[in-house]
């Protein structure tokens, strides 16, 4: 904001109001300061402003801010990559993001020249990255996306950006390049290492390096017990010809989530190959019951 001479009132994340007041007043003023109470109706409208464009439009018209400074959602189920999960209003342009914050400017206003220079048009860093897997098949889109991610790395060194770049490399078969990006993320103290270790394991599997893949999956499980991670470990042990360890990990996945349908069939096949007929019959009945419930 200093570099772009972005001043005046900011629509801000409430927790950051005190810092902006301390650092920047009177050059910048905040929409809210989290230390003070707010009218309930205003607080409710603020809470939905990122998700409901009309709510942000009403606030902008009434209070006259030209910039929006927000953090990332704690969790997003957004799978439509044409929509920004942080700020869904198309009248605002994303011009900066790092590991903590995202900055948007109002289109058609005093910062249009800055938007023309700095807008991120393709990357939506607050969205689930797997939502973009299908679009990555479009070479033109992919090249523009990678260009924006690399620009962010140059400007901020963001761990999120390195992780996103690694994911794109994985999806396009550049597994060694992906590992190079992910290894950079490991040195960032605030990075989501659970995802990174899983993505690194995916890279190693596709390079045929099962031992390093297992090591990465193990580190992911040290952070968080997850059925998908156990399932993928089971697949690796099947490739290595170790049915007992494969069965152990498929079974662990189902212990965590009995509705994880993908794990039933490989575990059934493994039980039968190991001659564990009683376990196979029990699992088969469980599988049929779950399948009927889902249908």
- What are the b/e assignments for 20-51, b being 16+ CB within 10 Å? bbeeeeeebbbbbbeeeeeeeeeeebbeebbb
| Confidence (pLDDT) at 284 | 93
**Could you tell me the strand order of the sheet in which 8-12 lies?**
28-30, 8-12, 67-71, 101-106, 92-97
Length of the chain as a residue count: 295
Question: Which residues on neighbouring strands pair with residue 9, listed in sequence order?
Answer: 29
Angstrom CA distances, 157 to 104, 168, 182, 194, stand at 19, 17, 13, 20
φ/ψ of 46, rounded to 5, equals -60, -40
CA distances for 232 relative to 78, 146, 156, 215, angstroms: 24, 28, 33, 12
pTM over 0.85: yes
Over the stretch 141-184, which tens digit does the pLDDT of each residue have?
A: 999 999 999 999 999 999 999 999 999 999 999 999 999 999 99
- For residue 182 the two structure tokens come to 């992910």
Q: What is the pLDDT of residues 216-272, one digit of tens each?
A: 999 999 999 999 999 999 999 999 999 999 999 999 999 999 999 999 999 999 999
Query: CA-CA distance, 214 to 236, in Å (whole number)?
Result: 8
């Amino acid at each position: 904001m200093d570099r772009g001479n972005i001043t005046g009132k900011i629509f801000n994340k409430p927790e950051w109001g005190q810092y902006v007041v301390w650092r920047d007043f009177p050059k910048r003023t905040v929409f809210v300061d989290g230390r003070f109470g707010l009218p309930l109706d205003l607080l409710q409208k603020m809470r939905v402003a990122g998700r409901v464009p009309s709510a942000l439009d009403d606030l902008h018209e009434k209070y006259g801010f030209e910039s929006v400074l927000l953090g990332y959602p704690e969790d997003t189920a957004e799978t439509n990559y044409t929509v920004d999960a942080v700020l869904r209003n198309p009248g605002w342009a994303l011009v900066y993001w790092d590991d903590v914050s995202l900055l948007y400017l109002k289109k058609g206003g005093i910062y249009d020249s800055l938007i023309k220079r700095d807008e991120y048009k393709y990357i939506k860093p607050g969205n689930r990255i797997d939502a973009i897997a299908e679009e990555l098949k479009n070479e033109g889109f992919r090249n523009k996306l990678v260009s924006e991610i690399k620009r962010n790395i140059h400007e901020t060194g963001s761990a999120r950006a390195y992780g996103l770049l690694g994911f794109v490399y994985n999806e396009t078969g550049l597994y060694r390049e992906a590992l190079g990006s992910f290894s950079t993320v490991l040195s960032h103290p605030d990075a989501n290492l659970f995802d990174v270790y899983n993505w690194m394991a995916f890279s190693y599997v596709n390079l045929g390096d099962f031992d390093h893949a297992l090591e990465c999956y193990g580190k992911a499980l040290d952070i968080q017990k997850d059925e998908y991670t156990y399932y993928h470990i089971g697949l690796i042990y099947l490739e290595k010809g170790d049915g007992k360890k494969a069965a152990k990990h498929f079974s662990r996945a189902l212990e965590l989530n009995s509705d994880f349908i993908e794990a039933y069939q490989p575990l059934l096949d493994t039980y039968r190959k190991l001659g564990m007929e009683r376990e196979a019959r029990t699992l088969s009945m469980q599988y049929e019951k779950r399948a009927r419930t889902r249908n």
